[in-house]
Amino acid sequence: MSLASSVTRWGRNEPFELQVSRNQIPYHKRVFKFGFNPDINGTEETIWDVGGIYVYPSSAIAMTATTTAGTASDDNGVLVTIEGLDTDYNEVSEEVTLAGAGTATTTQTFLRVYRAFVSGSQEPTGTINIANGGTTYARITLGVNQTLMALWTVPAGYTAYINHINIATGTTNGNQYVTASFISREINKVFRVQLKQTIGRGGVADFIIEYPLPFEEKTDLEVRAVSSGTNNLLSSDFEILYIKNNPEE
């Protein structure tokens, strides 16, 4: 069976976005990042599964995946894939298999971890934490089988372009609002706000950016939020197109 061909190859029109997703545009990649925080209160937090402000590794380190299952051996054989960047900010990915003790450690070292997911047919019976030295860098919540992290770092040799940011909140408490920020940090610099929005109870802020925001290589991107009250849910997602800077290298 032959590979389905793009109609564009025959002189017809096909959306550029679809061609990128089909890997038909050289040196162009795309990623969709999404996160969820189930309990935003009066202190600013990153929009991710664990809560609190996300802590980035200061150097490339191995990651250990550990299940919280009541009986660790129940998750023996669960496959977990961890994605991120190595010490040189190049994209890396490793699949590990939980052992009878409910743990597995990578041979690859990670300077950044921005996604992990269950990559086999066996579902875990507990939440899986990806950590090193007592610090959690990613979490696969039971029943989700995927991290929910509204953060990402631009790989070396690429420039990223953000063209869509969405933030939504929900709470059972009235007269509350959430203030959310999309922030960026270039290498060896501090985080600064690129977008800040206040959202009322059950509100949604959806930003279509006609002229996409550019971010250079090794820049950390993240969504954070703080609430005027307690027990607010907040989700966020953003779309990224990243393009190689020097294709001939």
Question: Which residues, 6+ apart, have CB-to-CB distance to 230 below 8 Å?
Answer: 41, 42, 173, 176
The fraction of the chain above a pLDDT of 70, given in percent, is 94
- At 177 the pLDDT is 87
- Produce one character per residue of 199-238: b if its CB has 16 or more CB atoms within 10 Å, e if not: bebeeebeeeeeeebebebbbbbbbbbbbebeebbbbbbb
What is the value of pTM for the model shown? 0.92
- Written as one letter, the residue type at 212 is P
CA torsion angle 66 68 74 77 (round to 10): -20
Q: Please report, for the chain, the start and end positions of each structural domain, with discontinuous segments joined by +.
A: 26-54+151-244, 61-140
pLDDT at 173 over 90: no
- At 39 the pLDDT is 92
Radius of gyration of the CA atoms of the chain, in A: 19
∠ Cα 68 31 247 (to 5°) = 130
Question: How far apart (Å, rounded) are the C-alpha atoms in residues 206 and 70?
Answer: 40
Pick from 139, 137, 151: which is nearest to 60 by CA?
A: 137
Q: How many residues does the chain have?
A: 249
Please give the average per-residue pLDDT across 20-31, as a whole number: 90
Confidence class of residue 7 from pLDDT cuts 50, 70 and 90? low
The fraction of the chain above a pLDDT of 90, given in percent, is 78
CATH code given to domain 26-54+151-244: 2.60.120.20
Question: How far apart (Å, rounded) are the C-alpha atoms in residues 132 and 58?
Answer: 12
Q: What is the pLDDT of residues 87-141, one digit of tens each?
A: 999 999 999 999 999 999 999 999 999 999 999 999 999 999 999 999 999 999 9
Identify the residue whose tokens are 């959430």.
178
Between 29-38, 76-85, 169-178, the lowest mean confidence (pLDDT) is in 169-178
Question: How far apart (Å, rounded) are the C-alpha atoms in residues 214 and 219?
Answer: 10
